Amino acid sequence: ELEPIRPRTCRNRCIFCFVDQLPRGLRRSLYVKDEDYRLSFLYGNYITLTDLSDEDFERIFAQRLSPLYVSVHSTDPEVRSFMLGRKGIPDIRGQLKRLVEGGIRVHAQVVLCPGINDGGHLDGTLQDLARMHPGVASVAVVPVGLTEHRQGLYPLRPVGPEEAERTLEQIADWQGRFLRELGTRFAFASDEFYILAGKEFPAEEDYEGFPQLEDGVGMARKFLETFGRRSRELPGRVPPLSIALVTGTAFGPVMEKLARKVESRVEGLSLRPVVVENRLLGKSVTVSGLLSGGDILRALEEKDPGDCVLLPPNCVNDDGLLLDDLRPEDLALRLGVPVRVGSYDLVGAITEAVLAKGS
């Protein structure tokens, strides 16, 4: 049996580090700041490359650890050094070039911090990275995530609706240019930008196979497309069943529309989206993947949970634990109804709940 990997930990002091913004009392694994190229290859974890040695590069080449996922944020050495909270770090452009020339494919990430690496800085970063295509295969641009637990940390501000709209326009301009010059859109904005700006998500084909799905790029569109394809498989009638669909505030309006569509097609089925406000991390954290068991319980206890509760699949880890170490079984015990972890296939999750009720 293989021993579990002991991850190398991060020595950076990033001004936007999400781990530094977590309250105490959550599951222990959340406080681990990993900076391990092995986990980047195996699980798509983003690494900065700041402490990669020559021996590490050689090992990556020898073992063909490709693709790797790299947090770039900025290709301007001064800006990147400031964002990572460290002086004297290697120039990321040289490191990426070395990986690419060694045959390693890279997916890059930019965490956008207003006033720091946006605007012209983002233009320069995208341009620098595009020069290394196809070795650098894609770039995800995501808005900085800020919780209410930032006491003593660098005073960052969140991306607002107008900034989100400007960034989307900026990325769209670059996508048009990249499509002409490289044959790919190359740079992709995360779903949060579209939600913040109140814009429709791009078409499925615009995501080019979803290379940055785990970074929240195209997850909403993939969910909607899967629903559209599978919805015709829904039965016309089921025994009376009420399902509570747990979601974060960002995806609440989308889930409400889908619920009404399903109800109009399936007699006997009631779908009630339960939009959970994130009190643990703060109202500005709107994604379902960062909902705690306590917040979910509070929201469901304030409303009727119905006959069954479906949790979003990304709010539990591989061990079935929510952020605060609660399990779906713990919620079921408190609520007195089954609590199931759903999937990105809403029709499949609903069908399973219907079958479980009938068994």
Position 1 scores a pLDDT of 52
- Could you report the per-residue pLDDT of 20-61, keeping only the tens digit for each? 999 988 888 888 888 999 999 998 999 999 999 999 999 999
Sheet with 136-143, edge to edge strand ranges = 46-47, 68-71, 106-112, 136-143, 187-189
- Could you report the per-residue pLDDT of 277-286, keeping only the tens digit for each? 999 999 999 9
84 CB contacts (<8 Å, ≥6 apart)? 12, 13, 14, 48, 50, 73
Query: Domains (ranges, CATH) in the chain?
Result: 19-217 (3.80.30), 225-358 (3.40.50)
Position 3 scores a pLDDT of 60
- Could you report the per-residue pLDDT of 239-252, keeping only the tens digit for each? 999 999 999 999 99
Instruction: Reduce the DSSP state of residue 184 to 3 states and report it.
Output: coil
- Could you report the per-residue pLDDT of 208-219, keeping only the tens digit for each? 999 998 889 999
Mean pLDDT across the chain: 93
Position 353 scores a pLDDT of 85
Kindly tell me if the per-residue pLDDT of 5 is higher than 90.
no
Sign of CA dihedral 110, 116, 118, 123: negative
Position 248 scores a pLDDT of 94
Instruction: Reduce the DSSP state of residue 63 to 3 states and report it.
Output: helix
- Could you report the per-residue pLDDT of 125-175, keeping only the tens digit for each? 999 999 999 999 999 999 999 999 999 999 999 999 999 999 999 999 999
The widest CA-to-CA distance across the chain, in whole angstroms, is 65
Percent of the chain with pLDDT over 90: 77
Side chain identity at residue 264, one-letter code: S
Position 322 scores a pLDDT of 93
Kindly tell me if the per-residue pLDDT of 253 is higher than 60.
yes
Side chain identity at residue 230, one-letter code: R
Rounded to the nearest 5 degrees, what angle is found at the Cα of 277, between the Cα atoms of 274 and 278? 130
1 CB contacts (<8 Å, ≥6 apart)? none
Rounded to the nearest 5 degrees, what angle is found at the Cα of 325, between the Cα atoms of 320 and 328? 45
Count CB-CB contacts under 10 A for residue 340.
17
pLDDT band at 358; cut points 50, 70, 90: low
Cut 0.85: pTM above it: yes
